[in-house]
Each structure stands twice: as C-alpha cells, then as structure tokens.
Amino acid sequence: MHFTIKRLKMINSRISVGLLLGIALLTTISCQPEKKKRSLNFPKTDLSSENMIPKPLKVIATEGGFALDRYTAIRTATTETGFVDVGIFLAEKINLKTGLDVPVNKGVSADEEGVIYIDRADSLELNAPEAYTLTITADSVLLSSNTAAGAFRGAQTLRQIISETSNDTLAAYKVWTIPTGKIIDGPNFEYRGAMLDVARHFFSVADVKKYIDLLAYYKYNVLHLHLSDDQGWRIEIKSWPKLTEIGGSTEVGGEAGGFYTQNDFKDLVTYAAKHHITIVPEIDMPGHTNAASVSYPILNGNGKTPQLYEGTHVGFSTFDTRKDTVYAFIDDVVREITAISPGPYFHIGGDESHVTKKNDYIYFVEKVEKIVQKHGKKMIGWDEIGQADIDSTSTAQFWNSKEYADRAVKKGMKIIMSPAKKTYMDMQYDTLSKYGLHWAAYIPVDTAYVWTPEEYEGIPMANILGIEAPLWSETISTIDELEYLAFPRAIGYSELSWTPKENRDWEGYKVRLANQAPFLDRMDVKYYPSPLIDWKKSKYSYEEIKKD
C-alpha cells in the first residue's frame, strides 16, 4: 500500500552543463549521489476518501500523490484580476499549515519541482459562477476557474487535501502529500451566508476577522452583520453621532458595548473581500430600534421615554413611521453605510415589530425599500416584509413564517432560507449546552445537517437564493462562546448550501466532520465537541507513518 516518489534534485543551479554532466557521471559510477534524492514512502493516498467539506460535485481519484515540499512553487495568471492574490493567499495558508515558504510567481529556479498553477480558463465545467477544477498529478496541481472567486474556492479545497502531517521522521526534509486525481466543483446556491449579531453583544474587528477566516475555509460567500438592535447601535453614522456615543455604549448584561468606526467597517469589508465574502449590513427597523431612539428620541414611536436597554426581551420598540424626520434619518443611515458597502444588498431587518400597527409597518417597509433602491442596493428583510407591496428584486429571509415567505414567493421575490428550527446557531445543542436559547428547538449537530433546504416548507427551488445561518448573541459575549455555538454547525450549513442534496448524507458527513478537528485545533477554535462525532485529532499519526 505504498507509492514511491523518486526524483533527482539539482543542488546548484549555477554550475555549468559540463560540470553537471561530470557530476552525473561520477554519481552513476560511485552509486553515491551527492545530489539529494527523493525516495519517500508515504501511505497510499486516495482523493475520493479525502475529508473535504463542503463535498465537491465530482471527484475522480487516481493512485498517487503530489509532493508538497520546499521545491514546490505557485504560478498564477498575472493579467487576470485576483488570481495573483489567490496564489499569495494559498502560499500564506500553506505556510501556516506546513511551515513551507512556497514562492509565488518567482523566476524558475533549478530547484523547482512540483508546481501549483492557478489559471483562468473557460470550459463547460467552469461555466457556473465560483466553479473551479483541480487537476492533480504527481508533477503538478492545476487549479482552473473562470473567476478569481472560483479559484479562491478551489484554493480552500486544496488546503483541505494537503496531508495533516509530513513524513519528517523518514526523510532529510519534509514532504506533505496531495492525492492525485481530478475535482470538478461549483456551488448549488449562490448565497451561502452566516449572520452575526454584534448588537446584543459587541464583537471586535479581530473576532469578526477570525470568523471570516473560518467561514472562508468552508466556502461561505456572505457575512451578514446585524448592526443595530434594542440593546445597541454598532456602526458610526457621521451625520447622527449620538447613535454610537449613546446607543453604542452598552449591551446585554450592562457591559460597555462598542461600535465599529466607518474605518473599522471598511477594514472588515476589505478583509472579507480578500476572502471573496460579501458583507451584508443590517439596520433592524422599524422595531428593534430602542438604541436609536434613546440616542435621538424624535425617532421613537412607542409613546414611552426610551431608556438604554440591557435585557433580552424583544418587540417593544418602534420608529414613528409617519414622521418625515424618520425617513430623512434612514436616508442618511442607508447613504453612509452603502457608501462603504460594495456588496449588492442592504438588510432592513423588519422582524418582530410587535408595537408597530400593521398598516404603519407596511407603509414603512415600502418607503424604506425605495430609499435602499435609491442608494443602488437591493433590499433584504426578515420574512415579515412579505406582507408589504414590494418588488421582486427584494429578498425575504425566511426565519419563522411560512405564510410570509409564501407571500414573498408570490411576488417573485427570492428567499434566503434561515428557518430558526434548523439554522439558528444560537439554539442550544441539547439541554446541557452551556450557551444559547431553545425557543425554536434544540439543534444537535445531526438536526442541523439532516434536512433539505431545497424542499423545505414547499418554497420552490427557483426562488431560493441560498441559505444563511444566524448567530444571535444574547447569551454569548466572547469569541470562544461564539465558536462554541457556531462550530461545528456552521460547517454543516456550508455543505447544505454548496453541495446538491444527491451528494449529501449524514454518515459520510459525520466522518468528514470528525476529520476537521486538526484544522479547528490549529485555528484554536473552541468548537463544541459533539458526542455524535468521533473527533479525529490527526489523519496520519506519527505511529502510522512509522509503521509504513
């Protein structure tokens, strides 16, 4: 069960051809090569049994391995935007995993052996957005895509199939293997999102960046930030400064809260874009607006004097939907946020406006839709917006009401699937969970994975834009707690949104998930070690390599 890599290495590129020949002759005669000879045993590799998540569309394994080592180089398309960046990103991640310094687009050195090519190509296989192919032989890895986004997704696959350990006990230098074969891949849904509530508890730029790192590894392409709620306003609005001065000053439980300056937010947007992730900003209204109304009481429509709120009860606040100032305010907020949000969407919230009269609510959503469109964005709102007369370019996020989601479908709107019973990562895993709520359900790791968003509650597949897993933060305030609720469930949602249902099954997924442990440990992710999963710490243990 072995394959052997035997290659002759050149030691010095500058020696003359004559000298080289001489050395070669001497080497042959003495049978004692001065040059490095790669003769390495490694356990047999099989691309089709690799632990990729999300599972690719098609995997064709061939027997063999590509040796990733200090002689490997990365070469990318240089005239197409974004491909060089994918090469640099991949080199950085290879360095983190292996310690190797893989050169990107450097001149060919005599030492160079295996090459990872990242190229732009057109083909039928690469027709879909974000599609890519990976063709791996013993000599080269070819990552092809029509777009830099596709190449970036393929780079994540490549990261996942680099062996966890090297052969360091057997050879003079370290070699990691990548199994040979071909992968043809592309996403089932165009919108693959996670939502983070930074309003109930504030999370720092560094925390959000770490979350982005993890989401990118599993091919997410959207991070929705819930930037305002009753308990806090978390983004600087220069024309309404008290929003953050007052509204950002606290959070659930009475801690200090916090907010992103516009520069912080731009930094996040840029960081996400580098990971081919779009940030969807949400300002939740007309309900969930207590923090805004405390900052500017003129906005308030619930008839009470607003006070800073540190509890978790919902549904008591509303904007005054019949006041012009409210719409002037919203125009400023949407203008300032869209100016620093290059993505196509603006999320207006719209959920649980229990103290807004129904007519006022509908009037409000229709007016705000126009404001969002005026600023060049498409509106997203929680499923309640399906009650309003809005257009088919707007999207409803199905979290609770099939009736409202159906009404949105009738208008030709797209739906983002976030049913609380299945996708709410703030739901506890079980009765013993340290954090989380359970008003919608307990969601153990299997329940999170074993359902079919393509067929959920009769929403037609043609209307489904994708899936999003929300993480509300009433019960969590640190990155460790965030990770406990999000991982491993977020990994499963990535597969539900990328991989078509024919290719998904719990038994297979369970094993692949178990094998995420080395990555999660390396990233210092405090995931919930669900007892349903037989977590593997390392794929090739030191002992196994020695045996072979």
| Catalytic machinery residues | 352
Residue number with CB closer to ligand TNX (352 or 468): 352
Residue number with CB closer to ligand TNX (474 or 495): 474
What number of chain residues touch ligand TNX (CB under 6 A)? Answer: 10
Interaction between residue 352 and ligand TNX (CB under 6 A): yes
Residue 72 φ/ψ region, left for φ over 0, alpha for ψ in the -120 to 50 degree band, beta for the rest: beta
Q: State residue 19 phi and psi, 5-degree precision.
A: -60, -40
In sequence order, the 6+-apart residues with CB closer than 8 A to the CB of 167 are 40, 41, 42, 174, 175, 545
Q: Is 270 helix (H, G, I), strand (E, B) or coil?
A: helix
Interaction between residue 71 and ligand TNX (CB under 6 A): no
The least distance separating ligand TNX from the CB of residue 424, rounded to whole angstroms, comes to: 6
Interaction between residue 424 and ligand TNX (CB under 6 A): yes
The least distance separating ligand TNX from the CB of residue 376, rounded to whole angstroms, comes to: 25
For residues 374 to 393, the per-residue mask of contacts with ligand TNX, x marking binding by CB under 6 A and - elsewhere, is --------x-----------
Interaction between residue 426 and ligand TNX (CB under 6 A): yes
The least distance separating ligand TNX from the CB of residue 474, rounded to whole angstroms, comes to: 6
Interaction between residue 361 and ligand TNX (CB under 6 A): no
Torsion angle of C-alpha atoms 259, 264, 266, 268, degrees rounded to 10:
-90
Nearest residue to 23 via CA among 320, 410, 15: 15
Residue number with CB closer to ligand TNX (240 or 382): 382
Q: Which of 260, 364, 398, 399 binds ligand TNX (CB under 6 A)?
A: 399
Q: 384-387 — which CB contacts under 8 Å span 24+ positions?
A: 384/350, 384/351, 384/352, 384/353, 385/348, 385/350, 386/411, 386/413, 387/358, 387/361, 387/362
Residue number with CB closer to ligand TNX (424 or 484): 424
The least distance separating ligand TNX from the CB of residue 426, rounded to whole angstroms, comes to: 5
The least distance separating ligand TNX from the CB of residue 247, rounded to whole angstroms, comes to: 16
The least distance separating ligand TNX from the CB of residue 314, rounded to whole angstroms, comes to: 5
Between CA 468 and CA 424 the distance in angstroms is 9
Strand (E) or helix (H) holding 262: helix 262-274
Residue number with CB closer to ligand TNX (236 or 474): 474
- Determine the straight-line distance between the first and last CA of the chain, rounded to whole angstroms: 9
Q: Within positions 176 to 215, which residues make up the interface with ligand TNX, using CB under 6 A?
A: none
Interaction between residue 351 and ligand TNX (CB under 6 A): yes
The answer to whether the beta carbons of residues 424 and 472 sit under 8 Å apart is yes
**Token duo for residue 326:** 């409210």
The sheet that has 132-136: what strands, in order across it?
58-68, 176-185, 132-136, 140-145, 115-120, 73-76
Q: Within positions 467 to 486, which residues make up the interface with ligand TNX, using CB under 6 A?
A: 472, 474
Q: Within positions 434 to 453, which residues make up the interface with ligand TNX, using CB under 6 A?
A: 437
The answer to whether the beta carbons of residues 464 and 479 sit under 8 Å apart is no
Between CA 503 and CA 510 the distance in angstroms is 14
Between CA 119 and CA 412 the distance in angstroms is 38
- What share of residues in the chain are helix, strand, coil (percent, to 5)? 35, 20, 45
The number of helices, as runs of H, and strands, as runs of E, in the chain is: 17, 18
Nearest residue to 464 via CA among 422, 401, 499, 416: 416
Between CA 433 and CA 167 the distance in angstroms is 39
Interaction between residue 355 and ligand TNX (CB under 6 A): no
Q: Is 164 helix (H, G, I), strand (E, B) or coil?
A: coil
Residue number with CB closer to ligand TNX (130 or 229): 229
Interaction between residue 171 and ligand TNX (CB under 6 A): no
For residues 314 to 343, the per-residue mask of contacts with ligand TNX, x marking binding by CB under 6 A and - elsewhere, is x-----------------------------
The least distance separating ligand TNX from the CB of residue 228, rounded to whole angstroms, comes to: 11
Q: Within positions 26 to 65, which residues make up the interface with ligand TNX, using CB under 6 A?
A: none
The least distance separating ligand TNX from the CB of residue 81, rounded to whole angstroms, comes to: 37
Tell me the β-bridge partners of 5: 40
The least distance separating ligand TNX from the CB of residue 224, rounded to whole angstroms, comes to: 11
Residue number with CB closer to ligand TNX (146 or 353): 353
**Token duo for residue 386:** 């399906």
Interaction between residue 282 and ligand TNX (CB under 6 A): no
Residue number with CB closer to ligand TNX (42 or 399): 399
Residue number with CB closer to ligand TNX (197 or 495): 197
Residues that bind ligand TNX (CB under 6 A): 314, 351-352, 382, 399, 424, 426, 437, 472, 474
